[in-house]
Structure 1
């Protein structure tokens, strides 16, 4: 029965690992990158996932690699990709686009207000300079 518990652990690990990659994919959709940055992100992702896999393997199964560990991870990633990824990507992309638009609008409004304040101060400053002379 221990094998079943470990299989479930790594099944969930595979799902979480692919969900993390979806996060990277969403960022790439919102903020396009060049090939160098994409390659660097992928390298960092795989290094982190490999380290997490190894640490989790040591914690759960004393570092022993078994077929059901690999099968659980791959199956979890595949199930997530097949049934969840499309919806998660769409949802996160829409939410981040919405936040990006709101932040842009907020920035524009604050810039307009700051410009108005600067224009009001300029006549006062010129009067003060005139009085000094």
Structure 2
């Protein structure tokens, strides 16, 4: 295989991983929202900061790997990485965290009730 083709395949892999990493970062933001609920204003600000971070991360991938040239398959690779991560790992991770948070709240309520009785 040509060195150029190998480089392009690696670039596509980097774009997948960048997309998955961005969704992982967004999952951390979702976890933060689960544990500390806040208003729509702060959620909007957090989303804006995340998307600025996502655009800078995507731009840095393009800039470092292909000197700022725009290649459609890299952008598609980032979105596919985000989509695949969201449909596979993210769903199960967030469901587990929500159940764990409900369980933790229930245990804390029981603990506080016992302390009040004493």
Q: How would you bin the TM-score normalised by the shorter chain?
A: 0.7 to 0.9
Once the two structures are superposed, the pairs formed by residues 58-97 of structure 1 within 5 Å of their partners are 58-93=63-98
Offset at residue 92 of structure 1 (A): 4.3
Larger Rg: 1
Instruction: Give structure 2 stretches of 5+ with no counterpart.
Output: 113-118
Say which SS state the counterpart of residue 38 (structure 1) adopts: helix
Once the two structures are superposed, the pairs formed by residues 1-133 of structure 1 within 5 Å of their partners are 1=5, 2-93=7-98
| Equivalent in the alignment of 2:116 | none
Structure 1 stretches of 4+ moved >2 Å: 90-102
Q: Once superposed, what is the RMSD of the aligned Cα atoms?
A: 2.3
Instruction: Give structure 1 stretches of 5+ with no counterpart.
Output: 109-133
Using the alignment, how far apart are the partners of 2:98 and 2:21 within structure 1?
Answer: 18
Whether the 8 Å contact between 1:30 and 1:93 is mirrored in structure 2 is: no
What's the CA shift string for 1:25-75, capped at 9, x where partnerless? 111111111010000000110111111111121111211111110110011
Using the alignment, how far apart are the partners of 1:60 and 1:98 within structure 2?
Answer: 45
What is the count of residue pairs matched by the alignment? 106
